[in-house]
Chain A
């Protein structure tokens, strides 16, 4: 089938992941009312457009969509990696004066018993990056 040959399912899978992550973040923030911390905000900024760009790319089977989305996925991966390193304590936490917002490193946000949200973020960004890379390689002309 044509779709299998072009690698479209890889693009679709990347979009689906971005959409799931976006809806998940919106649910936590807007429905459950958890205030996103600063680093969470930066990761949202990278994730939300991915759901739109990859959606349009998958809809039109447009290779360039994946190309444009890749920088966002990479930036997101970097931010999520730093965020997780901060939580684990691999990098020194930066001291900012305490404001009203939640703290990035002493965060207690867990879903499904013990899964940290930044960890899910890293997983999603990494998976999207990998899926897009595979897709771009498969469709290279």
Chain B
């Protein structure tokens, strides 16, 4: 090893270290700002109309900004379901809609309409299951999502009629207004009792939930 090689390796290590430090402190800053925003805009996290999984009065609330056409939301569905099963009395999941993709708004309204027939979860799971077929980001084919929903025994004619109700549009607009105010730009975005994830990932979500559950002191 001559001086040149050592210099190159040393400088590389130095810059890599500086980069890593920059990334960490930037993400920390973003997280702090988000958490502060969430405290200010607390009422925007959960709305009366928002679908809830798990006990309604659970002390720990996971808020998920969700897009039925988003692949990562689909991948996270079983993960979040497992978390709910792990803490059956402590944790609830509140779904907020973030229709960031083309066609998502139509599917969101279908989901909300299926709630009126008591088939919300079944339709949600069917739509997520069929997502690769209908949710092409360039050319979504919502008809395929409707077909998947109909498979669950949903009265699709009635559901599509219900989806036209003005309150569905109002609900969607409210969620969009909330996600804009909370500066949510990606799906899924999770908040656990208003706190954001330090960085995105299933483990980070699980440990944040565990932290909030541990705070209950049970």
Residues of A within 8 A of B (CB): 3, 8, 12, 15-16, 19-20, 23, 26-27, 31-33, 55, 58-61
Contacts and interface: CB of A to CB of B under 8 A. Distances in A.
Interface string B134-169: 000000000000000000000000000000000000
A15 B8 CA distance: 9
B4 A59 contact: yes
Given A55-B8, A58-B8, A19 B15 contact: yes
A49 to B, nearest CB: 16
Interface of B: 3-5, 7-9, 11-12, 15, 19, 22-23, 26-27, 185
B7 A12 contact: yes
Contacts of B19: 23, 26-27
A32 B27 CA distance: 9
A46 to B, nearest CB: 20
Contacts of B12: 19, 55
A32 B30 CA distance: 9
A32 B26 contact: yes
B5 A31 contact: no
Given A19-B15, A55-B8, A31 B3 contact: no
Contacts of B7: 12
Question: Closest 10 interchain pairs by CB?
Answer: A59-B8, A23-B19, A58-B8, A31-B23, A61-B4, A31-B26, A59-B5, A19-B15, A8-B4, A27-B22
Nearest to A27: B22
A31 B27 contact: yes
A33 B11 CA distance: 26
A36 to B, nearest CB: 17
A59 to B, nearest CB: 5
A3 B27 CA distance: 40
B4 A58 contact: yes
B15 A20 contact: yes
B103 to A, nearest CB: 15
A3 B3 contact: yes
21 contacts: A3-B4, A8-B4, A12-B4, A12-B7, A16-B11, A19-B12, A23-B15, A23-B19, A26-B19, A27-B23, A31-B22, A31-B26, A31-B27, A33-B185, A55-B8, A58-B8, A59-B5, A59-B8, A59-B9, A60-B5, A61-B4
Contacts of A55: 8, 12
Nearest to B18: A23
A16 B11 CA distance: 8
A12 B22 CA distance: 23
A132 B27 CA distance: 36
A81 B132 CA distance: 43
Nearest to A20: B15
Given A31-B26, A31-B27, A12 B8 contact: yes
Given A19-B15, A27-B22, 6 more contacts: A3-B4, A12-B8, A16-B11, A23-B19, A32-B26, A60-B5
Nearest to A15: B8
A46 B18 CA distance: 23
A124 to B, nearest CB: 14
A3 B3 CA distance: 9
Nearest to A1: B3
